[in-house]
Amino acid sequence: MTMMKSLLGAAAVIAMSAAGALADGPAVIFDLGGKFDRSFNESAFNGAERWAEETGGTYREIELQNDAQREQAMRRLAEAGSNPIVMAGFSQASALEVVAPDYPDTTFVIIDGVVDAPNVQSIIFSEHEGSYLVGMMAGLASETGTVSFVGGMDIPLISRFACGYAQGAVAANPDITVIANMTGTTPAAWNDPVRGGELTRGQIGQGSDVVFAAAGGTGLGVLQTAADEGILSIGVDANQNYLHPGSVLTSMMKRVDVAVYNSFSADTIEPGIVVLGLAEDGVGYAMDEFNAELVTEDMIAAVDAAREQIIAGEIAVHNFTEDGSCPVDMQ
């Protein structure tokens, strides 16, 4: 009996690995934060899971453990026949530039980065527009006239969040002070909740009473400290309102899940750059039962009006990555 079982097991393993080698399904590569970071990567994972549930299909996935694995992971998936291969995270761009020309029949999709190749689609979000909206909300909710921002790794992408947020806060209250801090300059900055909490305490000491975290796993420490100290916080990427009901004012939603879902289900993927902004519902703010009491009717009215104006082009939100500078002063 045991013999039979192990034989059957072995046969099953061989069958599965054979199927794996011939797999033609899509694949996703998560960035260093890990697929359960309650934020960027988890959002990508949710999109992939939704596709799997709705179509009954299977997909392959790789969670990167360190930078050196990027190229290897892409090549492995491409050689195994996965198509398309979606990769979440700007840090994948340099590796993809090398890998993409070697597999002309495979379509790659990169989220948050831009790679110019005939078989790569680059999906970019207008984070500055979404951040502008939550910045307005922060400016309206602040009683002290000071709001703050905690970023993860110090890169232009995160400065885009910070700059949009600051512009929104100033639009709501021209006299407001915006404090912005970055957690660090290495990828470890995405996973350091202790430092995130300390930064938040420092900002509260400088008068901040609304803090926006765009910092992956580090953000969990920021939201925790904000809840402990009785101030408001704003989550990022996924809807994080549920983490600390009554303390998280809203979340800047970046629909990475939609991007992954669409890439998985599309029949053909056009190469080039796709920008998902407010008009495409690629970014936005989150409302649910956990923050309903914190957000007033007036705030929603003001933010929705701004949203319409941005879509219509009446308000131009400055994009930090265009010229590397921000029109609003941050401390």
Partner 1 sequence: MDFITILQLLDSSIRLATPLLLACLAGLFSERAGIFDIGLEGKMLAAAFFSAAIAFTSGSVWVGLLTGVAASVALSGLHGLASITFRGNQLISGVAINFLAAGMTVVIAQTWFSQGGRTPALTGDARFEEIVLPGAASRIRDIAQQSPLGQIYSELISGHSILVYISLLIVPLSWWVLYRTRFGLRLRAVGENPAAVDTAGISVVGLRYAAVIICGVLCGLAGAYLATGLSAGFVKDMSAGRGFIALAALIFAKWRPWHALGACFLFGFLDAAGNRFQNIELLTFLSLTFLLLAAVSAIMLVIRAIMLARGKDTARGLLTPGIALVVSVGLALGLDALDPEAGGIATYLNTFVLPVQFMQALPYILVVVILAGLVGKAIPPRAGGEPYVKER
Residue 251: which of 154, 168, 330, 138 has the closest Cα?
138
Between 26 and 216, whose beta carbon lies closer to partner 1?
A: 216
Using CB under 8 A, which of the segments 29-37, 72-80, 117-125, 299-307 binds partner 1? 29-37
Burial 5-15 (b: 16+ CB within 10 A, else e): eeeeeeeeeee
Between 132 and 320, whose beta carbon lies closer to partner 1?
A: 320
Using CB under 8 A, which of the segments 8-16, 161-169, 215-223, 307-315 binds partner 1? 215-223
Closest contact distance (angstroms) between CB of 69 and partner 1 is 15
Using CB under 8 A, which of the segments 12-20, 34-42, 92-100, 291-299 binds partner 1? 34-42
* Interacting residue with partner 1 among 28, 172, 243, 278 (CB under 8 A): 243
Between 39 and 263, whose beta carbon lies closer to partner 1?
A: 39
* Interacting residue with partner 1 among 163, 215, 220, 258 (CB under 8 A): 220
Order of strands across the sheet that contains 283-285 = 177-184, 146-153, 210-214, 232-237, 248-254, 283-285
Q: Does 202 interact with partner 1 (rule: CB under 8 A)?
A: yes
Instruction: Find the helix or strand (DSSP H, E) in which 115 lies.
Output: none
Give alpha helix (H) positions in 272-325.
Answer: 297-312, 320-323
Contact 308, 315 (CB under 8 A): no
Contact 271, 239 (CB under 8 A): no
Closest contact distance (angstroms) between CB of 77 and partner 1 is 20
**CA-to-CA distance for 91 and 87, rounded, in angstroms?**
10
- Maximum pairwise Cα distance, the chain: 78
Closest contact distance (angstroms) between CB of 104 and partner 1 is 34
Between 34 and 139, whose beta carbon lies closer to partner 1?
A: 34
**CA-to-CA distance for 164 and 137, rounded, in angstroms?**
12
Q: Which tokens go with 167?
A: 């512009």
Alpha-carbon torsion (93, 38, 293, 249), positive or negative: negative
* Interacting residue with partner 1 among 49, 61, 63, 97 (CB under 8 A): 63
Between 123 and 213, whose beta carbon lies closer to partner 1?
A: 213
Between 151 and 164, whose beta carbon lies closer to partner 1?
A: 151
Q: Which tokens go with 12?
A: 């099953």
Whole-angstrom CA distances from 15 to 11, 56, 60, 117, 273 are 6, 19, 16, 36, 39
Which positions from 156 through 195 interact with partner 1, judged by CB under 8 A? 181-182, 184-185, 188, 191-195
From residue 107 to residue 136, the character string flagging contacts with partner 1 as x (rule: CB under 8 A) and all else as - is ------------------------------
Length of the chain: 331
Instruction: Find the helix or strand (DSSP H, E) in which 94 lies.
Output: helix 93-99
* Interacting residue with partner 1 among 154, 279, 295, 319 (CB under 8 A): 154
Q: Does 224 interact with partner 1 (rule: CB under 8 A)?
A: yes
Residue 288 backbone class (left: φ over 0; alpha: ψ -120 to 50; beta: rest): beta
CA angle 30-156-43, nearest 5°?
A: 30
Using CB under 8 A, which of the segments 87-95, 109-117, 220-228, 294-302 binds partner 1? 220-228
Q: Does 205 interact with partner 1 (rule: CB under 8 A)?
A: yes
* Interacting residue with partner 1 among 27, 29, 37, 108 (CB under 8 A): 37
Q: Which stretches of the chain bind partner 1, using CB under 8 A?
A: 34-37, 63, 144, 154, 181-182, 184-185, 188, 191-195, 197-199, 201-202, 204-205, 209, 217, 220-221, 224, 228-231, 243
